Amino acid sequence: MIIVILIFLATAATYIIPAGEFTRYEDPVSGETLVQAGSYVSTGTNPANPLHMPMLMYDGILDAADVIAFLLIIGGSFELVNASGAILALCRTVGRKLRGKEIFVVPIFLALFAVFGTTMGMSNEVAIFVPIGITMALTLGFARAIMLTLENAMVIDTIANAVSIAVNALPAAVQSIGFFLAQTGVSFVITSGSGMAAVTIPLMAPVADLIGLSRQALVLAYQMGDGFSNLMLPTTSSLLGALAVSKIPYARWVKFMFPLFLIWTALGAVMMVLAVAVGY
């Protein structure tokens, strides 16, 4: 239900936010398509048709077909292992070993998923550990529908351009924090980490150069802005999928997670100030 509401909101936003786009070019070194700073041009309005919502949901599922198929395959493989009783036996063994030491259960699982995440980038794949990933797979397709709505209306570049202008207008003393908060804000619109980097880094890099902020600090702002928000964004497919199969309402999760998100944001702001102070 939350995804459908968000698609409606994204459609409504296209009637308010003007369309526009940047000039993009291919980096001869990396081969990546980048945005040329200062090239934004407004093209008027290009509102999305609400009647096209079902089609966008279908297109979103098609665009995410490779990931959905991957999730279903590993989900089925996991279910075969689970049916053999191996997972239950492992859990019982771990339970016996940690009897009376339950306080170590959460840190152990955090460390396990942290290793998987940093070594092979595991994110959506964790859905197989939350019994079944079918709901998550469908959620992923519908979350892409939100992006398709904004992309087709050509408003993503408009939002990114507005954010970069706002950061540039901040006092020099707090611009480093502004970079971090700007990346967090953009992540609510561009949920793909690589997609957000391709849009925001070329825009903010010249501004960072002007105020003396190092490229390392800029990347730090991007990483924290993108990473912290993943556990709050209603468009994060892995989060909504996990909540759906765990039967936890999104509103209840936000109530639980929001205070921690604010703490992380405050710590992120402190880290940006320290990065500038030590010349990182």
Helix (H) or strand (E) holding 35: strand 33-35
CA distance 175 to 71: 40
pLDDT tops 60 at residue 169:
yes
CA angle 162, 166, 167 (to 5 degrees): 120
Domain limits of the chain? 35-40+51-277
pLDDT tops 60 at residue 129:
no
Q: Which two tokens stand for residue 3?
A: 């995804």
**Residue 267 — very low, low, confident or very high, per pLDDT cuts 50/70/90?**
very high
The more confidently predicted of residues 41 and 118 is 41
Three-state secondary structure call for residue 43: strand
Q: What share of the chain is helix, strand, coil (3-state, %, to 5)?
A: 70, 5, 25
Asked which of 152-156, 206-210, 224-228 is least confident by mean pLDDT, the reply is: 206-210
User: Quick one: pLDDT at residue 200?
Assistant: 74
Asked which of 82-96, 120-134, 252-266 is least confident by mean pLDDT, the reply is: 120-134
63-79 pLDDT, tens digit per residue, is: 777 767 776 776 677 66
8 Å CB contact between 208 and 214: yes
Please give the radius of gyration of the chain, using alpha carbons only, rounded to the nearest integer: 21
**What is the number of alpha carbons within 13 Å of residue 150 lying toward its C-beta?**
22
Q: Which two tokens stand for residue 143?
A: 């979350």
8 Å CB contact between 19 and 154: yes
Task: Please name the amino acid found at residue 175.
Answer: Q
CA distance 237 to 258: 18
35: phi then psi, degrees, rounded to nearest 5: -100, 135
Q: Which of 105, 108, 81 is nearest to 95 (CA)?
A: 105
Average pLDDT over residues 157-185: 79
Instruction: Look at the pTM and tell me if it is higher than 0.75.
Output: no
**Residue 262 — very low, low, confident or very high, per pLDDT cuts 50/70/90?**
very high
CA distance 139 to 58: 12
User: Quick one: pLDDT at residue 132?
Assistant: 44
Most confident by average pLDDT, 7-16, 108-117, 126-135 = 7-16
Task: Please name the amino acid found at residue 18.
Answer: P
Three-state secondary structure call for residue 49: coil
CA distance 162 to 145: 23
